Chain A
Amino acid sequence: MTQGIPLYYFLIISTLMFFIGIFGFLTRRNLITMLMSIELVLNSVNINFVAFNSYLFPHRMQGQFFSLIVIAVAAAEAAVAIAIIINIYRNFRSIETDKVNEMKY
């Protein structure tokens, strides 16, 4: 833990970052920017895990390993999502969600 910084500061930062990511996910109409919003959300959750591990349970390492695994899952998710996005672009010539609606109805 860090001297002089309460745990709450980390929680406030990660909460604000999480909801900024949610806001981006709700307002963006482009698949890649939506993916970036998801990365923001995952990153904020990582901050939470690390702060809890460091301040409350410094004798274990679960928070750190959970963050590592979340980072690995985020990397896998980004790779697969970008493969799908590139395939969509090849078929529709666009990655706007408004134009990719063939299976909507």
Chain B
Amino acid sequence: MNNELMFFMLSAVILVFSVLTVTTRKILRAAVYLLFVLVATAGLYFQLNYNFLAAVQLTVYAGGIVVLIIFSILLTSHISERAPIASAARAALAALVTVAGAILTLITVMQFTFRPAGIPPISPNVKNVGRALVSYGTDGYALPFEAISILLLAAMIGAIVVARKESNNQSTK
């Protein structure tokens, strides 16, 4: 009973603030609503006992990406600036497309019967996660771990190169 109550509260937070994120006209508020959505998602992961994943969600998404987005909002727009609103025809068309897609997907999902594998589960605790991250072979994830570290390095260097000012020996410009 407590589980269900918690789940419904978290999903209500997720849905309400997702809608607010994409409809509010104040950009900074949209970022804060996105933060609420991400924290509620971390709550869902905690409910499923994925503690490590929930912690990563909180630190990387809620802590890192949202702060990055807020920084860039403050750098690129005035605090009182309102986001331009889409024309009514475009908004209606987008709503039509998304509602149709959502209904189609939900019908397809609800008609499918999922069968659990029925094999005794392993606990997704931090010890098992850490062991799997550095082992290889079956249930080892050393290769994706290394690949993602190379991707992060490349993204970091790329972001610095793209965002840097071109100085051309005129540093005081």
Q: Which A positions have Cβ atoms within 8 angstroms of B?
A: 1-5, 7-13, 15-24, 26-30, 32-33, 35-37, 39-40, 43, 46-47, 50-51, 54-61, 64-65, 67-69, 71-80, 82-87, 89-90, 95-96, 98
Contacts and interface: CB of A to CB of B under 8 A. Distances in A.
A55 B44 contact: no
Contacts of B115: 56
A73 B124 contact: no
Given A19-B101, A73-B151, A51 B48 contact: yes
Given A13-B14, A78-B65, 12 more contacts: A17-B14, A23-B94, A27-B91, A40-B34, A46-B57, A56-B115, A58-B122, A65-B144, A75-B152, A78-B69, A83-B162, A84-B162
Given A36-B30, A65-B141, A57 B90 contact: no
Interface residues of B, number: 86
**Main SS at interface, chain B:** helix
Interface centre among A12, A32, A55 (most CB of B within 10 A): A32
A21 B121 contact: no
B116 interface: yes
Contacts of B34: 36, 39-40
A23 to B, nearest CB: 4
A59 B121 contact: yes
A79 B132 contact: no
A20 B19 contact: yes
Nearest to B1: A4
B83 interface: yes
Contacts of A90: 165
Interface string B33-53: 010011001001101111011
